[in-house]
Amino acid sequence: MTAQQNYSEVPLAIKGKRQSYSGSFKAQIVSEWINRKRTLSELSEYYHVHPNQIKNWKSLLLKEARHVFEDKRREKPPGKKNGKYERGTWHAKASGNMAGTTIPS
Predicted pLDDT at 29? 96
Find the Cα–Cα–Cα–Cα dihedral 14, 20, 26, 29, rounded to 10°: -10
Predicted pLDDT at 59? 95
Which residues lie across from 85 on neighbouring strands? 80
Predicted pLDDT at 37? 94
Contact 72, 61 (CB under 8 A): no
Sign of torsion over alpha carbons 91, 94, 98, 104: negative
Predicted pLDDT at 15? 63
C-alpha angle 39/45/49, rounded to 5°?
A: 100
Show the low-confidence residues of the chain (pLDDT under 50). Answer: 1-8, 10
